[in-house]
Amino acid sequence: MFFEIAIIGTTASGKTHLANLLAKNFNAVILSLDSLCVYKEINIASAKPSKEELENFHYFGIDLISVDEHFNVELFIKEYQKAKEFAKLRNLPLIITGGTGFYLKTMMDGLSQKIEEIKTDLSNDEIYSLMCKIDPSFKVEKNDTYRLKKWLSIYEITKEIPSIFLKQTQKEGVLKNIEIYEIVWERNLLRDRIKMRTKKMLEEGLLEEAKKLFSQFHRDTKALNCIGLKECKEYLDGKISFDELENLITTHTAQLAKRQRTFNRKFQSIALNFNEAFEILKQKFTH
């Protein structure tokens, strides 16, 4: 029977494991809600499902583009529509899961009118300063080049305040009335899981993956500045020791988890303890 659910949670909370378990038992389709798993060449740093899992389950949203190509929420929505069509045709449930809550929120709220990006000589700091002065309600990080340039393009082309323009041109979302489940952990336990996952990633060859990526692509490519790879870059440049590498990845991942927890408050979700999540969701899949 076709229906849709979303499973959210912080990094290392067990979302993928739970989705795979449900897929194994109920032949569910999985749409990866992860902005790193879309890249073909990033496997360990993205904590991508294994090759065996990708072959055995109906996965969407993974290995879509190369590291030097640009991916955005509009492309993700197209991937969602492919996954939904696949699931509906086969009368299978669809699980949307991953840590990029922004994609889920946009699918629910809707996209705004697309504006082509303009070329500019302004730095991120200069655009950020202009944005804070003109449009302080537009929330974006100082180092988010893509969204800063998007803001500037809207401002220059439309001559309107971008945050107002985006609200006025927003279309209806493609995802309505979806049940959202959030896997929650006590913070110290999650920190332990993050630490164990960092160690495992290094044992599985994170440094080797980083070396290969830095040799194939420009080191400043946005995708290569994700948590895990940016610390490897510092280690390979001789700036930090191996112990510092492991500690920094763990710390930065824990900081990401905190930001994800904050963002996930935007959703009306049902909190689940990881150890009980499968038994609880199993009831939904069998009714």
pLDDT in tens, 247-271: 999 999 999 999 999 999 999 999 9
- Look over the chain and give the mean of its residue pLDDT values, rounded to a whole number: 95
Binding-site members for ATP are: 9-16
Nearest CA among 155, 146, 8, 167 for reference residue 72:
146
Residue 279, C-beta contacts closer than 8 angstroms, at least 6 positions apart: none
What is the band of 86 on the pLDDT scale with cuts at 50, 70, 90?
very high
CB 107 within 8 A of CB 177: no
Q: Where are the alpha helices (DSSP H) in the chain?
A: 15-26, 51-56, 73-89, 101-109, 124-134, 145-158, 162-168, 187-203, 206-216, 229-236, 242-264, 274-285
> 32: closest CA among 71, 76, 73, 74?
76
Share of the chain above pLDDT 70, in %: 100
> 170 phi and psi, to 5 degrees?
-70, 130
Q: How confident is the model over 163-194, as pLDDT tens digits?
A: 999 889 888 889 988 999 999 999 999 999 99
> 48: pLDDT confidence band, cut at 50, 70 and 90?
very high
Which one is the CATH code of 4-110+172-285: 2.60.40.10, 3.40.50.300, 3.40.50.2300, 3.40.220.10? 3.40.50.300
Average pLDDT over residues 68-92: 95
147 CA to centre of own chain:
15
Residues belonging to the binding site are 9-16
Task: Please state the domain extents for the chain.
Answer: 4-110+172-285, 124-168
One-letter amino acid identity for 285? Answer: F
- Write down the pLDDT at residue 30: 98
Residues tagged in the binding site annotation for substrate: 11-16
CB-CB contact of 22 with 40 (8 Å): no
The pLDDT tens digits for 214-238 are: 999 999 898 999 999 999 999 999 9
Q: Which amino acid is at 232?
A: C
pLDDT tens profile 136-173: 999 888 878 878 999 999 999 999 999 999 889 888 88
State how far the alpha carbon of 138 is from the alpha carbons of 106, 129, 155, 167, 216, in Å.
Answer: 15, 12, 12, 11, 35
